[in-house]
Amino acid sequence: MSANLRVGFIGAGKMASALAQGFIKGQAVKCASHVSASCPIADKHLLEHMKQMGCQTFHCNKELMDCSDVVILAVKPQIMPLVLPDIKSLVASKLMVSIAAGVQLARLQADLNPDSKIVRLMPNTPCIVREGVSVFCSGPQVTPQDNATVKQLFGTVGQIDEVKESMIDAVTGVSGSGPAYMYLIIEAMADGGVKQGLPRDLAYKLAAQTMVGAGRMVLETHTHPAVLKDEVCSPGGTTITALDMLEKSGLRTSIMQAVEAATKRCTQI
């Protein structure tokens, strides 16, 4: 990956902002001005955060394309048909990365041109704090060097893996949408702590750090979550009593159904 790599975002929503922050913090780019974003004038308020970070901003996709080596398509899936014709003649040899849920490589390739170098990637918002997780698949024109650029770029904001395109929708259901599930659990745990008399700030801190720690235990020990769960449960103790309540409440089934619903939604876009 070039030390002078320039990254442009077509679209300036929350995911684009999260990635931009992560790239700058992770020094994936030489300086903030090597990151740019574009959006219509009607949505100019979305560019304010980018400007505050020191990024370049445009209302013209051509200007953004001219100063970018990697272009990240960060618009909503329903907006993609409006954007692709606008940039079709500009893609040339640029590496295009789409983070739009449910938009397949074949559709992107058809709406641009057969020679376009296109990667489909699903990140998540913890990229802001460089604890994200991304997966990607590549179109037929993408070279090994392009794949290496994607891995190095997104590797600065968390973990990244290459997968078959058939897995991307399920990935969206697990990690793309997953932070929202985790925030809901953190909020519920904290509310439970407050109900039992804990100060709210402390309750949030305990719940959030507990989730961080549990995640790191799974990743760093390579131990099955069920084994780690059993290690916390003493016979007749507090934890097994709490887990019994969660199972009766259907937590496991609800989360599995949430992942399924998010995955199916991708196919409807």
Structural domains in the chain, sorted by start: 7-164 (3.40.50.720), 177-267 (1.10.3730.10)
Please check if 211 is assigned to a binding site.
no
Please check if 14 is assigned to a binding site.
yes
Predicted local distance difference test score (pLDDT) of residue 115: 87
Please check if 117 is assigned to a binding site.
no
Please check if 15 is assigned to a binding site.
yes
Predicted local distance difference test score (pLDDT) of residue 268: 86
Predicted local distance difference test score (pLDDT) of residue 45: 92
Predicted local distance difference test score (pLDDT) of residue 27: 92
Please check if 144 is assigned to a binding site.
no
Predicted local distance difference test score (pLDDT) of residue 149: 95
Structure-block tokens of residue 252: 């496991």
Structure-block tokens of residue 220: 């760093």
Please check if 245 is assigned to a binding site.
no
Kindly tell me the sign of the dihedral angle through the C-alpha atoms of 78, 47, 116, 29. Answer: negative
Please check if 24 is assigned to a binding site.
no
Predicted local distance difference test score (pLDDT) of residue 13: 93
* Residues of the chain scoring pLDDT < 70: 1
CA neighbor of 8 nearest in space, from 118, 116, 105, 97 = 97
Predicted local distance difference test score (pLDDT) of residue 203: 98
How many Cβ atoms sit within 10 Å of the Cβ of residue 24?
A: 22
Please check if 61 is assigned to a binding site.
yes
In angstroms and rounded to an integer, the radius of gyration of the C-alpha atoms of the chain is 21
| CB 59, CB 42: distance < 8 Å | no
How many Cβ atoms sit within 10 Å of the Cβ of residue 251?
A: 14
Please check if 10 is assigned to a binding site.
yes
Q: How many angstroms separate the first and last alpha carbons of the chain?
A: 33
Determine the 3-state secondary structure of 103 from DSSP: coil
